[in-house]
Amino acid sequence: MKLAGIKFPVFGLFCMALGGFLLHYRIHPPQNDAFNLIAVLFTLFNALILPAMFFSRKTMPWAYLINATSVVAGVATMTWFSIANWKDPLTLYTILFHSTLADSLILMGKLPLAHAILLAWREFDSEVKA
């Protein structure tokens, strides 16, 4: 059974994940280094499989957990990458505009979308039981 109220949040998750896939593929092409394949495959999974999992009551809790895990892993990895490759002087400007802070903030936007889907499912379940 599908919920009408989750279509736009799921579409938002899809768009963010697809954007992440395209960004990773452009910045870290897997043909240059096999290690880059991890980020590309993970973002492809997040774009194609994960949104579909949110539409099923059985797989929605797993989708929620995988989404949260991918956000934490992505933010941690991007922060490490930014620190490990830092070349500029440490100023507020360089932290804001020469780091992966913006990418991390965009990625963290997936958390409230997934939570909105979770709340919609909980509301739907309570209406069905009543």
List the chain pLDDT tens, one digit each, 130 residues. Answer: 457 789 999 999 999 999 999 999 999 899 999 888 998 999 999 999 999 999 999 999 999 999 999 999 999 999 999 999 999 999 999 999 999 999 999 999 999 999 999 999 988 888 777 6
Angle formed by the axes of helices 101-108 and 110-129, nearest 10°: 0
Both structure tokens of 111? 């958390």
**Cα dihedral 65→3→41→94 (10° resolution):** -70
Name 60's Cβ contacts closer than 8 Å, sequence gap at least 6. Answer: 53, 54, 117, 118, 121
* CB distance 29 to 36 below 8 Å: yes
The verdict on pTM exceeding 0.85 is: yes
